[in-house]
Copies of this chain bind each other. A is one copy, B any other.
Amino acid sequence: MIERLGKYTLKLNERPSIIAGAGVVGKTEGDGPLKEEFDRIFEDDTLGEESFEKAESSLQREAVLQAMIKSGKPIEDVEYIFAGDLLNQCTASTFSLRELGIPLIGLFGACSTMALSLGIASVFVNCEAARLAVAATSSHFCSAERQFRLPLEYGGQRTPTAQRTVTGAGASVVAKHIANKPCVEAVTFGKIVDLGIKDSTNMGAAMAPAATMTISDFFSDTGMKPDDLDMIVTGDLGYVGSELLLELLKKDYSLDISAQYNDCGMMIYYREEQDVHAGGSGCGCGGSVLNTYFMNRLESGELSKILFVATGALMSPTSSLQGESIPSIAHAVLLSKPDNK
């Protein structure tokens, strides 16, 4: 049964389990502080493919296949894949999943996709529309740079507020509740928030207000307090967006989450040594970190309850060139450690 809490939150009473998660990344991410966590690190960011877009497809397929291997289930048993990415027409997902022969629910949430896909997959499993579902997403530094910013060959200088798109992919396998795996307790799907930021090299500032809205909705819907959670982790606000989030939550909603807070975009790189400016971004940032670092710690019981909030900037290069601001969205998923931990 699904219960609506407050105006925006779905309580998943069947508590679907994430029976496996996998995260795979490129070389730069593999040189970062989370290198021991990832399921696979590709030393060559092309993955042997002839274009960066094809490399991203391979990356996402690899995350799905690794997650399936860890789940111990045959891939033919998967009833739906919920997936999306940042490339025009979500081709990283569609080409990656083309040969699998599994129904695809294509999603678009920009960098919020991991929470969106995991949230919808969990709703489907909770209400028995699926017994086994996969949620997946990816991003690639090189395919994102040339699509959203400048050709890599141009060698443009990046601004201090700019984030580095993570070359990475994540996948979660969701199934009926079992005692020894982390589970999904609730989902808060977000509304679009747009405070008028137009600087596409400062995504953190554009997305922070959306995360603020979804996090405050989650707390007011559930009646929980930040202290009830071990961690509140955003997908890719980076250093600039994270600071703004903490400030906005305190100022506008009297919520202080600084004791519980972290951000996958701040966790994935060494800030100074790797020269990543404002941190990591991209669907694959939250996707790869959630499905490795956080899933491992939930599974072991080191973390009991976390809120994963992935944020997406819903602009396109065309909308920016036409002078539009950057509408953003954040979706949140409440995850718990296994019953037996």
Q: Which residues of A contact B (CB under 8 A)?
A: 1-2, 4, 8, 10, 50-51, 53-54, 79-80, 84, 86-91, 94-95, 97-98, 100-110, 116, 120, 123-124, 126-129, 131, 147, 189-192, 194, 314-319, 322, 324, 327, 329
Contact = CB atoms under 8 A, between A and B. Distances in A.
A91 B8 contact: no
Given A89-B108, A128-B2, A316-B91, A189 B327 contact: no
Nearest to A97: B192
B54 A94 contact: no
Contacts of A51: 322
A316 B87 contact: yes
A103 B314 contact: no
Given A53-B319, A120-B120, A192 B91 contact: no
A78 B254 CA distance: 28
Given A105-B189, A108-B108, A129-B2, A88 B317 contact: yes
A102 B314 contact: no
A314 B189 contact: no
Contacts of A54: 322
A72 to B, nearest CB: 21
A149 to B, nearest CB: 14
A1 B129 CA distance: 9
Contacts of A126: 127
A216 to B, nearest CB: 14
A191 B2 contact: no
